Every structure is written in structure tokens, then in C-alpha cells.
Structure 1
């Protein structure tokens, strides 16, 4: 009988049920870290400019509401160059979180394609993608840990009551983008453990006939 061969031919995708959950969580975690990386809402403070108070926010490489020459720009934008980012810690954070997001995106797209296309994710590929996700989570966690080291910069101090320092925000507050980046990092780390059960074991395509 060709039962096993027919069932194998009818299957679409290369993931186990655990692998489908891994694929969904990988995409969810990737979305969280990428949104958190891009949005300029990691910390929020107040800045006085020409005797008026303005709410300002900072991300890693973007900010909202900032002074420029003799005017105050009330909009969001990125720093003009990499070296305009306020501190070395934030530059390192930009690189580490950016690399982590890139790796997370790579695995997420592989996982999504594996839901529909056969033989993309085997047991070995599942372990490899899990290792990549673990490395991505380490990069993102390192970036989130390094970020507060840049709170002693003069630009941040001006928004935080001139009392901020390394790992001390002064009068500023952490914002939602920082928290969803951490949440995405944890999700990706959890996904790295699921990946070991994501791929199906490849079997030979042999026909078995009843005598």
C-alpha cells in the first residue's frame, strides 16, 4: 500500500504543530522588537525652551520634539548622522538591537514560508534557526541593557531635570517602546526553545506494496 507516501504527498509545509506555534510567536516577537527599535518612545521628559515647557521623547536613533538653532521642532525624526546620536552607548545600542531585529526577521520569514512550503525546516534547520534566535535575543537584550548608560548625556539631562545619570532617569520616565522591545526579546528567546521541535523528520519516499 502507498498509505505513507500518499499522506506525505498531501502534506503542505514542513512544520510540526509545535512548529506552527513557533512560527506564529516568531512573527509576533519580530514585530514587537522591530516596532520598538524604530519608534522614538523609549523615554519621555520635559524640556524648557524660551520659557515654555515641551514634552520630548527619545528612542535609540530617533526623537520627538527637539530644539534646533533658535526654534523648537515639534515633530519626530531621526538624527541626521550616526554620530549625531547623543552617546556612544546609544550608538552601540542602535547596532546591537538593529542586528538582533535583522536576525529575528530572517528567522521569522523562514518560519512563515515553512508553514506553506515543504521541506524548508528540518530538524537540523530548526536547531539552527533556534540558535540564530537565541543570538538575536542576546543582541537585543544587550542593547536594552546598554541604553540606560547613555542617560548622562547633556541632551537627555536637559529633558530630565538635569538630574539624570547612568541608569538613573531623573525626572524622565520609561515609555512603551522600551517595554515592547523587552517583551519581544523575551518572546524570541522562548521561540528559540520551541524551534527544536519545529521541523519534521524527513522520511524516504518509498512505495510499499501489499503482496
Structure 2
């Protein structure tokens, strides 16, 4: 049961991260918006009539800091996706086949995904100094959005990064002492491990 909850959380984070990464609504004006990999424009007051484009490769992305951010965010997303797929395989595989479920290495993968994503999110606003962003946002500069407003894509990506960084912390096994023995409760293995008390 606990494993299924973690799989659902992992898959949800993966899907929402992909949605925010593909979203063109990271910074927007009343007639234009752009994200890491895509951008859209529309006539004034007619946001339903959008024409959108995508950056097909890193060479198409208009600024070096933007390229670094895109590479980091894609890497973070791949790590989150890998972690979710591995969790799913552990839940579906027989317990005898995978005795060390939820080992510390997997928490490390999730922590690396969160760190990579956070660095990518911090690098992206440096690209606001690019000619592309200045044309869209007016007097924009590094960490200043000019006439652009923060969009839901960037906010969602920040929320996902916060969740991805919190999840490895709350998965640490709990420890308690009972009659001179240390008992480790691990939700991953669903076993109680008795450890003899070490004399000091």
C-alpha cells in the first residue's frame, strides 16, 4: 500500500513536471508568452486564437543561460521519470526478486533530480537579458521580467521542485528504542529490524 502511494506521487510529479516543461506560459504579456521549450502569440484580447512555436534543439534557444537551464531541467525531468519507473517496477515485481526496495541510492536519484531542477529554475531567469526576451518583455534583464508577468508554467515547476526535494527527506526510516534495542521501522521493506544496543 505504501509503495503504491509513492509510485502515484512519483508518476504525478513526472507528468506535472513534463507539463510545466512543455508549457509556453513561464513568462507572459497580454499578447505573448514563452517557456523553456515553446512560445505562443495571439491578437490583443483573443487568447483563443494562438499561434505557437517550439525550440526544436538547443541551438534554437536564444540565450546560453536559457540553453543551460533547458538542459538542466530536461536532465532533472529524466531523473524524476527514471525514479518513478523504478518505483513502479518495485511495486509490480515479486518481493523475492527485489529484496532491497527503496534503497538509499534511489533517494539519492530523487535528491539529484530535485537539485538539478532547482539549479535549472534558478538559471532560467538569467535568459531574460536575451534579445528574444527583451523583445517580448520590453526592458527585461537578469532576474527582472520587465513587462512580463510570471506564468503558471514556472510556478508549477517551482512547486514540483519543492515537492521533489521534500520527498526524499520524509522517506528516511524511523528509529525508536525499546528495552535496550534499536528497532528500525522501514516502510520500504515493511519489516522490523532488531539491532543490538552498542555499549558506550
Report the TM-score, using the length of structure 1 for normalisation: 0.73
Partner Cα distance (1:113, 1:30) in 2: 15
Quote the offset at 1:170 in angstroms: 0.8
Alpha-carbon contact 2:32-2:39 (below 8 Å) kept: yes
Quote the offset at 1:115 in angstroms: 2.3
Find the structure with the greater CA-based Rg.
1
**5+ residue gaps in structure 1?**
1-16, 47-54, 67-72, 204-211
Counterpart in the other structure of 1:3: none
- Residues 82 and 180 (structure 1 numbering): CA distance in 2 closer, same or farther, change over 3 Å? same
Quote the offset at 1:201 in angstroms: 6.1
Partner Cα distance (1:122, 1:192) in 2: 20
Counterpart in the other structure of 1:28: 12
Higher relative contact order (CA 8 A, sep 6+): 1
Alpha-carbon contact 2:90-2:101 (below 8 Å) kept: no
The one of 13, 18, 25 equivalent to 1:41 is: 25
Quote the offset at 1:118 in angstroms: 2.1
Partner Cα distance (1:148, 1:122) in 2: 44
Quote the offset at 1:23 in angstroms: 2.1
Partner Cα distance (1:159, 1:192) in 2: 38
Is 1:146 the equivalent of 2:135? Answer: no
Partner Cα distance (1:195, 1:110) in 2: 16
Quote the offset at 1:121 in angstroms: 5.3
Alpha-carbon contact 1:26-1:187 (below 8 Å) kept: no
